[in-house]
Structure 1
């Protein structure tokens, strides 16, 4: 099953699984469409810092084409890279944005993790999906709208995986990432 991108090329609708790869470079090369762009941007900030954990996301939608994200935790920072295709009316074929955000772990005030569990026919419990949020001290810049409550809201980083979108391996890796971030939140930085 494939889906065309803005350049007219066919992209697989189901991406390879990155969860077996323990190092960032191998996982990015297996999963992202543009791993060189992501790794160059991240490397410019990490500059040899130890990568304690990471999570990856990628999907294709009809409006913006391929959307990719990498989030790395080095113990004191979350380094987020985001790459997204530019819609045809906003740029030449194949154009994309590449952005980087660095969030000090000290600005994470809360880590939340919700797992949806189901019981299989043999009674075993299985994790079907996971939703993770990291609440930050910064304020959400999206403003207020009809669907949003009035007044300032804290910014949050949100991540999710399901059996259909990522599989059991990526669910486990996202939960591992959430636990890593939770373990360093509130600890003094050495």
Structure 2
């Protein structure tokens, strides 16, 4: 089964598994459509720093095409690369954006990890999905809170957050485990002096 790719080609509906690869270069080359773009951008910020952990995401968006993300932790920062195909009409065919964001670990105020467990026929619990969030001290866009009562419809202030998720259908057991390892790595560093 394949999905139409941006520009008319076909992409596999299930991407290769990056979870067996312990090093960023191999994982990115196995999983991302544009690993050279991602690794060049990340390398310009890492500049030889040790990669302590990472997580990868990729999916096909029906409107824009391929969306890709790499998040790296080097002990003092989270370095996020995001690549996304440009929507038809917003640029020449085959255009994409490449974005980089650096977040100091000192700005992570909370790490949350929710695992959904199911029982096998034999009664064993197994993780079938994981959702991770990293709450940041920076503020997200403030605006009216539509869920608030009418008398409290003033602007709401929300903290920025990074969110990641994997399921058995979207990534498989290996990527669920790797995302949980990444969350634990970041959680172990929150509130401690950074390297």
Q: TM-score range by the shorter chain?
A: over 0.9
Counterpart residue number, 1:2: 2
Partner secondary structure for residue 17 of structure 2: coil
Counterpart residue number, 1:139: 139
Distance 1:148-1:178 versus aligned 2 partners, 3 A rule: farther
The alignment covers a number of residue pairs equal to 189
Separation in 2, partners of 1:26, 1:125: 31
Does the CA contact (< 8 Å) of 2:105 and 2:194 recur in 1?
no
Separation in 2, partners of 1:157, 1:53: 16
TM-score normalised per structure 1: 0.96
In the TM superposition, what is the alpha-carbon distance from 1:189 to its structure 2 partner?
2.2
Residue range with higher mean Cα deviation, 149-158 or 71-80 = 149-158
Distance 1:65-1:15 versus aligned 2 partners, 3 A rule: same
In the TM superposition, what is the alpha-carbon distance from 1:148 to its structure 2 partner?
6.5
Alignment of 1:164-183 (within 5 A): 164-183=169-188
Partner secondary structure for residue 16 of structure 1: coil
In the TM superposition, what is the alpha-carbon distance from 1:147 to its structure 2 partner?
4.9
Does the CA contact (< 8 Å) of 2:16 and 2:31 recur in 1?
yes
**Structure 2 runs not aligned, ≥5 long:** 149-154
Partner secondary structure for residue 103 of structure 1: strand
Higher radius of gyration, 1 or 2: 2
Separation in 2, partners of 1:95, 1:26: 25
Alignment of 1:67-106 (within 5 A): 67-106=67-106
In the TM superposition, what is the alpha-carbon distance from 1:80 to its structure 2 partner?
0.1
**Structure 1 runs not aligned, ≥5 long:** none
What's the C-alpha RMSD, in Å, of the aligned pairs? 1.2
Are 1:157 and 2:151 matched, yes or no? no
Q: Which runs of 4+ in 1 moved over 6 A?
A: none
In the TM superposition, what is the alpha-carbon distance from 1:144 to its structure 2 partner?
2.6
